[in-house]
């Protein structure tokens, strides 16, 4: 079933709205749970009551964020049934499994021990309370694991077979899905970015206390823990980012080309460190891609294939083909995809008419072209290209900010360990003003990942236009407005509550 452009656009907009709001809360939870667990461990080991006060303060802010993140997450999952029912029908057997495991195992553990962690002070033993805190941290990250494995499968579908009788993709190998390298690298990169954000959160708020010259001992201790945790997370983030880029190169070359604004493929391709895209550039023309750029030679080839001499395909190569490098054009894939779609329809018709001979012939034709069935729904070859400017600038914003965060962690840790941070007001201001950019990096990272795989709901198999529900566009528009109001209200509520708690301080808290 083909849906109107208005319905598809608004369905995408509604899901993007929900996902972007949801991701304001989730990474902070992922990282703050571990920071709180580390702080409580120090308290239990040392018996120092100041560490208990520090732990309970950050735990209070974690609780506020946890509750709001939960509300937005539930709404987002429901949209697979309301706005994306065709998607759910076609791949629900596969996509639903990780989400079900997340709810039954990870979320159950996380929410159960959260109650003990938050309300169990002085009601259970220190060791039991500490165990609960660590289980909340582990549970929240396990919850992210299953969701990100599901998302990684959308980026690189494996472990499944298409059933022509039901027109559904069915799980064939659960372990192949579980150990999907794209999903694993996405999980590791995403959770480590959450650790970085939480570290920035703790450092930024602690810097505010230093600027106000209040609760300085609390702030200093918090910064030491967060800077150490953030520095380790940042270094690991670089490693996982390298692995993620390698997986993108293998399974999503169009996304990689868009991330770097690479139109003409080349050997020894370089990475654009800074660049301004030429707005008049079109696919297939001979105009310069950049008005200005600073490039690191050979770096993209190494990042993509761990070999500086490797050829990296550009957008033009992927759209129009490159026989020299065995790259098939999108037009060829579209032709084979249309054959597959037609053959599938004929198979179902012949089977309904009990014409076994023609049904088998149609099935063989379908199976020979099945790999490119998704391309049969594209209208023109350039439909396979995402918004290059959006992906390019989002990716480079994320990388640039991530590099700055690493430097900030080194600076704050160095001066904190020397007990001089309280005298360096310029560092305190830097830490405070860097705080909101942690969320900018998070959101631009997700924009890169999700906008970069367009037009696919499932990479190479199902275009977004074929995944939506058969509902009225006006219904989606109305709910978009309602969700925008609801999520904005929740965000404002969280910020106001947190600001109140921050102004109250750790002792008053």
Higher pLDDT, 92 or 301: 301
**173 sits in which H/E element:** none
Q: CB count, 10 Å around CB of 485?
A: 10
How many Å separate Cα 167 from the centre of its chain? 29
Alpha-carbon span 66 to 57, nearest angstrom: 14
Which parts of 287-355 fold into alpha helices (H)?
299-305, 315-320, 330-352
How many Å separate Cα 176 from the centre of its chain? 21
How many Å separate Cα 202 from the centre of its chain? 22
Question: What is the share, in percent, of the chain residues with pLDDT greater than 70?
Answer: 99
Any residues with CB less than 8 A from the CB of 71 and at least 6 apart, and which?
Answer: 490
Full DSSP string of 205-217 = HHHHHHHTT-SHH
Q: What are the residue boundaries of the structural domains of the chain, listed by start?
A: 5-252+386-504, 258-325, 336-377
Cβ atoms of 20 and 446 within 8 Å: the answer is yes
Q: Give helix then strand counts, H and E, for the chain.
A: 16, 8
Cβ atoms of 39 and 51 within 8 Å: the answer is yes
pLDDT, tens digit (0-9, with 9 covering 90-100), for 32-63: 999 999 999 999 999 999 999 999 999 999 98
Q: Region 168-197: what's the mean pLDDT?
A: 92
pLDDT, tens digit (0-9, with 9 covering 90-100), for 108-143: 777 788 888 988 888 899 999 999 999 999 988 988
Alpha-carbon span 134 to 123, nearest angstrom: 17
pLDDT of residue 102: 79
Q: At residue 2, does pLDDT exceed 70?
A: no
Residue found under tokens 């946890």: 66
Q: Report pTM.
A: 0.92
Cβ atoms of 215 and 209 within 8 Å: the answer is yes
Q: Of 480, 397, 475, nearest to 441 (Cα)?
A: 397
Structure token digits, residue 250:
């293998």
């Amino acid at each position: 079933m083909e849906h109107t452009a208005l319905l598809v656009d608004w369905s995408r907009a509604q899901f993007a709205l929900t996902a972007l709001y949801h991701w304001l809360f989730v990474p902070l939870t992922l990282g703050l749970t571990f920071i709180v667990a580390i702080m409580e461990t120090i308290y239990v080991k040392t018996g120092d009551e100041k560490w208990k006060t520090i732990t309970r303060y950050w735990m209070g802010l974690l609780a506020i964020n946890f509750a709001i993140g939960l509300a937005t997450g539930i709404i987002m999952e429901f949209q697979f049934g309301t706005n994306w029912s065709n998607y759910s029908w076609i791949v629900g057997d596969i996509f639903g499994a990780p989400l079900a495991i997340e709810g039954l195992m990870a979320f159950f553990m996380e929410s159960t021990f959260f109650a003990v962690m938050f309300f169990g002070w002085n009601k259970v033993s220190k060791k039991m309370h500490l165990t609960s805190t660590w289980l909340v941290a582990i549970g929240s990250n396990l919850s992210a694991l299953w969701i990100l494995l599901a998302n990684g499968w959308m980026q690189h579908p494996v472990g499944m077979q298409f059933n022509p009788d039901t027109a559904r993709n069915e799980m064939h190998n659960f372990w192949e899905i579980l150990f999907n390298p794209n999903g694993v690298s996405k999980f590791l990169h995403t959770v480590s970015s959450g650790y970085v954000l939480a570290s920035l959160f703790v450092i930024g708020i602690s810097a505010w206390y230093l600027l106000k010259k209040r609760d300085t001992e609390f702030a200093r201790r918090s910064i030491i823990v967060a800077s150490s945790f953030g520095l380790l997370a940042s270094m690991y983030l670089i490693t996982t980012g390298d692995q993620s880029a390698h997986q993108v190169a293998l399974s999503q070359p169009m996304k990689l080309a868009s991330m770097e604004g690479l139109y003409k493929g080349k050997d020894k391709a370089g990475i654009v460190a800074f660049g301004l895209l030429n707005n008049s550039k079109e696919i297939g023309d001979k105009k310069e891609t950049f008005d200005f750029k600073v490039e690191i030679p050979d770096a993209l080839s190494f990042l993509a294939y761990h070999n500086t001499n490797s050829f990296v395909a550009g957008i033009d190569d992927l759209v129009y083909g490159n026989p020299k490098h065995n790259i098939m054009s999108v037009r060829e894939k579209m032709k084979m995809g249309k054959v597959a779609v037609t053959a599938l329809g004929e198979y179902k018709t012949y089977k309904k008419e009990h014409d076994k001979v023609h049904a088998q012939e149609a099935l063989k034709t379908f199976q020979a072209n099945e790999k490119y069935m998704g391309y049969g729904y594209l209208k023109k070859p350039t439909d396979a290209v995402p918004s290059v400017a959006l992906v390019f600038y989002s990716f480079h914003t994320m990388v640039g900010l991530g590099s700055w965060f690493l430097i900030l962690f080194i600076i704050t840790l160095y001066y904190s360990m020397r007990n001089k941070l309280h005298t360096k007001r310029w560092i305190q201001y830097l830490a405070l003003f860097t705080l909101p950019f942690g969320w900018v990096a998070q959101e631009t990272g997700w924009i890169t990942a999700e906008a970069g795989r367009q037009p696919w709901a499932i990479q190479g198999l199902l275009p977004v236009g074929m995944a939506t529900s058969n509902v009225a566009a006006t219904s989606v528009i109305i709910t978009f407005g309602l969700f925008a109001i609801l999520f904005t209200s929740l965000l404002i509520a969280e910020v106001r509550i947190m600001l109140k708690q921050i102004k109250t301080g750790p002792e008053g808290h």
